[in-house]
Homo-oligomer: A and B are copies of this chain.
Amino acid sequence: MHQEIKFEIIGRDADSRARAGVLHTARGVVETPVFMPVGTAGTVKAISQEQLERLGAQIILANTYHLYLRPGHEVVRQMGGLHRFMSWPRAVLTDSGGYQVMSLKGLGRVTEDGVSFRSHLDGSAHFLSPELAVDIQNALGSDIMMTLDECVEYPASHETLHRAVKLTGRWARRSKEHWARYQESGIRNQELGEEERAAPHSTVDSGPLIPNSQSLIPALFGIVQGGTDKGLRRESAEEIIEVGFDGYAIGGLSVGEPKSETYEVTDYTAALLPADRPRYLMGVGTPEDLVECVARGIDMFDCVMPTRNARNGTAFTSQGKLVVKNAAYAKDESPLDPACECSVCRRYTRAYLRHLFLAHEMLGAMLTTSHNLYFYLDTLRKIRQAILSGGFQEYRSRIRAGP
């Protein structure tokens, strides 16, 4: 019934759990380990889809919660799905919305059924269940859907973490069962009739608008919770694996715990997950974190850091973070990173970028976003290449040693 996502492992590091793979999605191939730029509201902030393609992004993340509220998943469905709506031909992973709802604090209430919450936009009342999260992601036309989970802040009591683990487990089962009903009925992505689904809606005569891809089956990933408690991580992993998913995510990290704990829990949890399925570490992290977590067996990452920091004027470089507004760069004709080959570093100086930020000009955020995403995507490409060529430990040592 359930067509499994195809994930091939094509190379391994001999001295760690690092591996290189190919994830076949409904919209093309994703080479792992991979970094997914965050496109919360159907746009990766301050960069265009053309530029993302040029940077080599193979998959981006979009947010169920945000798109449900605005423009609404029914609008996106009617526009032919998210790929067509935003004109992005490659893969999209949709976050389930659980993390956002949890971070709303006073605006949300968790029950067995799901989450009641008020919109951060207009205060309107909403309810999100594991089933609805699947419905929404299906309407969006996601390539990789995430189950609704309960993400808990750090620090949390054992009782709170345990309750979240059990609820996440029950929700995972409900998500899987609901998704199975879609597949049994043959309804996918759209509730439209077959003819409508086959015909592009566009009134545009020319150009590469994105066709619907309803013939392909999205993947559904489960999420392991349990905070920094290894016993709970094991309990959660066993439950989620028992339900069975196309891939497995480690949630509830990078929520305030010390970095050593992030690494340790990632190490511990990744080892519990099926070796033949992609492992996704949610919301992590710095370039160094990516290398360290690849070594612990992670295949997929997302993080707002490269894009958010860019808008604040912080660049990631081979020499570490660079706060481009600093007075030291007022007359610095170097590029953001002299070792970087991206289009921004080939053309613009630190002095100019600093001026743009001080003058509150959008181009500052645009160029730094482009550079930071290049840096992240390029880091993952280098990691992958190092794994395939047997040089991963050397690469890791170099990154660990720092600039």
Contact = CB atoms under 8 A, between A and B. Distances in A.
B331 A46 contact: no
Interface in A1-52: 41-43, 45-50
B333 A41 contact: no
Most B CB within 10 A of own CB, among A66, A207, A367: A207
A106 interface: no
A273 B228 CA distance: 78
Contacts of A358: 70-71
B362 A46 contact: yes
Given A338-B203, A361-B43, A78 B48 contact: no
A22 B206 CA distance: 34
Interface residues of A, number: 53
Interface string A262-303: 000000000000000000000000000000000000000000
Interface string A52-70: 0000000000000010001
Given A43-B361, A333-B201, A206 B346 contact: yes
Nearest to A334: B203
Contacts of A330: 71, 75
Interface string A68-99: 00110001001110000111000000000000
Interface of A: 41-43, 45-50, 66, 70-71, 75, 78-80, 85-87, 201-209, 330-331, 333-335, 338, 343, 345-349, 351-352, 354-356, 358-359, 361-363, 365-367
